[in-house]
Amino acid sequence: MSLIYEDWDSSIVPSSRTLANSEKLLHNEIESNNLTSISDSDLEVPDSEVVDHAITDVSVLSFPKLKHHKIFKKHHKRLNSKLNSLVSSHPYYIHAMIYRCELKMLRELINCKPLNLPEIINFQDHHENTPLMLAIKLAQSKRDFIDIIRLLLRSGADPHIKDHNGWSVMDEAVAQKNSEIVGILFEYFHEEKMKKWEINRHLALEALESLPDFYLEIKWEFDSKVIPLIGHFTPNDTCKLWKVGKSFRLDTTLVGWKKLKSKRRNMSFFFKNNALGDKRNSVTDLIVANHSKKTLVNPLEDIDPEEKLAVIGDILKSEPIQGDLSFISYTVEPCLSWRGKPVKTKISQWNSQKFKVDFKALFKYKKKGVEQVPLSENRYFEILGTDFSESSNFEHHLPQAEAKCDINKNLVKNSKAHMWISEEFPFSLNKFLPILKLLSTSSSTMMKLYKFLSSENLTNIVPINSFPIKLDIPITMSIRAVVTFTKFQLLPSGSENFAEIPNYSIQSRKVAQKTLTCPKKRLFLANLVV
């Protein structure tokens, strides 16, 4: 028997005789209470009995009931390799348990801790459904599936894996209008976001420690080939960044866009260890100061139950939409003068070279529709068109996302951008990205800048010890922003006052963002989490 998960073939599974014999041997060993004398051959099936063909009766796909679980748990290290071999050889164990809603069996299997549990719990069957996706698709038929979903998430199931149509587990839950599952997934993604924040925080601290204290200005200008005179109603903005020790401060007035008009506030973002001190009885690193209202807000403040219910309600009212942007072609080449020489220019105090980026993007748009189709267990596990000789009593109305799609559109767009790259900038792009990622948590404009600068295509283009000191990035389909890193100077010692947080009143994030009264604010919060 193979112990290697990667060798599984979703179109070839063991015969019912092989599976039944393996189960019987393992079950008898557990029943006997004599676990110390088990040898490696006890669960082996002779090679002559192994026949690789499609399952003819999936009713045999039931894991042995571990009646003497305490004894098994005591000796599970001895049996772990055999259990691992058994489950590895029969990848549909978990899917069959879930289809039958065998919660107790599934819990016993997970508690036995097979060596390859992280792989088998995310194994995609011949429909490309993971165990978690299958449980969510079946959840409307029986209440116990909710407990299975919770168990799978606690045990390492990955909710980011999509099915063969490209839909996620959240898309499936929203399409079914299942508020309980949407709530479970929302809580999971929120906890995951906070864990990622901790990782990003440590990366930012490392980056800050490796950089000298400095002052930097980032200028934003806006342009459009579609909207004339856009600069008159979208004033320019200059972001000012101070880095002192392991802290930084960013001052900005541009916080977002609304109906082609810029939204402006006199804001400061502070990243500082224990920024609020003892005022909130917790350690907070990122604080937003509104100088007009003289308030301080923690943008990562926990979501309270009332806010969560409102956000989940909005998610359920929405429709799952799949928007996939992929690059068909992507070329970068240096801009040449009429003499055929590279175009070089001085921006602020740094010499730079101009590059042109041409790319063709494919945008796929699909709106999810769900049609409930009755599907028996035998029909679900049918492989390679094999007819089942024996019927099963298990039948569910399984959502078939592919059965009904309201909208399916593809759009191809050609576009270009320019970058000015300098090798004289005081630090490299890789050292600046962790800082920018923290700022993107609370600023939509910084989020767009971070996504552009951190894209894999761009990071592969920019040399290791260089920095794109000027670039243009898309803000909307018709508006582009020209971002220029301008003034830079090193700060002398004793500049800690720049990172001092003003003595303003502390305001809850819920009140500051108006999430209970403004649906658009709640939708923005939901998109940040999910």
Phi, psi of 77 (to 5 degrees): -65, -35
Average pLDDT over all residues of the chain? 72
**Quick check: pTM over 0.85?**
no
Q: Measured at the alpha carbon of residue 432, what is the angle toward residues 427 and 435, in degrees to the nearest 5?
A: 145
Question: Is position 404 within any domain?
Answer: no
Question: Is position 109 within any domain?
Answer: yes
- DSSP letters for 164-217: TTS--HHHHHHHTT-HHHHHHHHHHHHHHHHHHHHHHHHHHHHHHHHS--EEEE
Number of domains forming the structure of the chain: 1
CB of 168 closer than 8 Å to CB of 204: no
pLDDT tens digits, 386-425: 333 343 444 555 555 444 444 566 777 777 788 899 999 9
pLDDT tens digits, 353-396: 998 888 776 766 666 665 555 556 666 665 433 333 343 444 55
What does the chain come to in residues? Answer: 530
- The predicted pLDDT at position 46 comes to 37
Question: Is position 94 within any domain?
Answer: yes
Those residues with Cβ within 8 angstroms of residue 147's Cβ, 6 or more apart along the chain or in another chain: 103
CB of 246 closer than 8 Å to CB of 238: no
- DSSP letters for 454-498: T-HHHHHHS-TT-EEEEEEEESSSS-EEEEEEEEEEEPPTT-GGG
Which DSSP category does 508 fall into? -
pLDDT tens digits, 180-236: 999 999 999 999 988 888 888 888 888 888 889 999 999 988 777 666 655 555 567
- The predicted pLDDT at position 96 comes to 81
Q: Tell me the CA distances in angstroms from 285 to 27, 150, 197, 254, 301, one per residue in order.
A: 54, 31, 10, 22, 11
- The predicted pLDDT at position 208 comes to 87
Which residue did the predictor score with more confidence, 269 or 441? 269
What percentage of the chain carries pLDDT values higher than 90? 18
Instruction: Kindly indicate the confidence band of residue 113, based on its pLDDT and cuts at 50, 70 and 90.
Output: confident
* C-alpha to C-alpha distance for 163 and 176, rounded to whole angstroms: 16
Of 10-19, 120-129, 520-529, the range with the lowest mean pLDDT is 10-19
Instruction: Kindly indicate the confidence band of residue 35, based on its pLDDT and cuts at 50, 70 and 90.
Output: very low
448-477 average pLDDT score: 79
243-251 average pLDDT score: 90
Question: Is position 232 within any domain?
Answer: no
- In this structure, the strands spanning 295-297 and 505-506 are parallel
Q: Tell me the CA distances in angstroms from 513 to 192, 275, 526, one per residue in order.
A: 22, 20, 13
Name the β-bridge partners of 32. none
Question: Is position 336 within any domain?
Answer: no
Question: Is position 365 within any domain?
Answer: no
Kindly tell me if the per-residue pLDDT of 300 is higher than 60: yes
With H, G, I as helix, E, B as strand and everything else as coil, classify residue 325: strand
Which residue did the predictor score with more confidence, 259 or 166? 166
Identify the CA nearest to 98 among candidates 69, 130, 134. Answer: 134
What percentage of the chain carries pLDDT values higher than 70? 62
Question: Is position 302 within any domain?
Answer: no
With H, G, I as helix, E, B as strand and everything else as coil, classify residue 402: helix
Identify the CA nearest to 462 among candidates 374, 385, 381, 353. Answer: 353
Which residue did the predictor score with more confidence, 298 or 150? 150
Name the β-bridge partners of 325. 363
Of 30-34, 246-250, 366-370, 381-385, the range with the lowest mean pLDDT is 30-34
Question: Is position 182 within any domain?
Answer: no
* C-alpha to C-alpha distance for 317 and 343, rounded to whole angstroms: 52
- The predicted pLDDT at position 235 comes to 60
CATH code (residue 128):
1.25.40
Provide the residue range defining the domain that includes 140: 5-164
